[in-house]
Structure 1
Amino acid sequence: MAIYKILRTPEWEALQAAGHSLGAPVDLQDGYVHLSTAAQVEETVAKHFAGEEGLVLLAVDETRLVPELRWEPSRGGQLFPHLYRELRMADVIWSAPLPLDGGRHRFPPL
């Protein structure tokens, strides 16, 4: 199953260059890489990245993250995937830009 990570373009470029990343500033602050399911990712973008240009959506292979992936309660008690190690390029299945369209981010099919 794919789960998703949102990065800003410079964060995505840094991940590609280094081959791994501890994530965005919020990930560094919280001590894990925040991820979302397909059902959660659009709300995550609307809540935390509203109107922000230059976002990239990463699809990540959940099976590659075991055993460092934990499902923990967050927004509204929903279980969110949290990665307790660096995110690696080898974890990424595909990436796609999230362009703004009428003030909302346009998602590829998930």
Structure 2
Amino acid sequence: MSVTVLSVFMLVKTTPEWLGFPVEERFRLLRTQMEPILQRHSAEVSLRFFDIEFYSARVTDLWLWEASSHHAYELLVEELRETPFWDRYFSIVEILPGVENAYAKNYEQQPLLAS
């Protein structure tokens, strides 16, 4: 993927329908329905999964999308919305878009770094 312009933190919650599937079926659905979308957009958008259910009751997972443009992210979401992963297998609780270190870039300053 090219340079990340947009990071989107998508907070999601699994639904009883998703949890009702055996684990093998969940992975089959991910491979057959979600993975092709990710592959089609892989040049411009990447996805990282984080499990949160151990620490939160409001959301179970965080999907971190990194995109080379807002438009690339929008195209991916349009396609994802046409699948059962959007508000059927997972409830989309909140979408938090952000631009990494924009505060520093906007003032032409070096971002703070933690070592």
Q: TM-score, normalised by structure 1?
A: 0.31
In terms of fraction of residues, the more strand-rich structure is 1
Bigger CA radius of gyration: 2
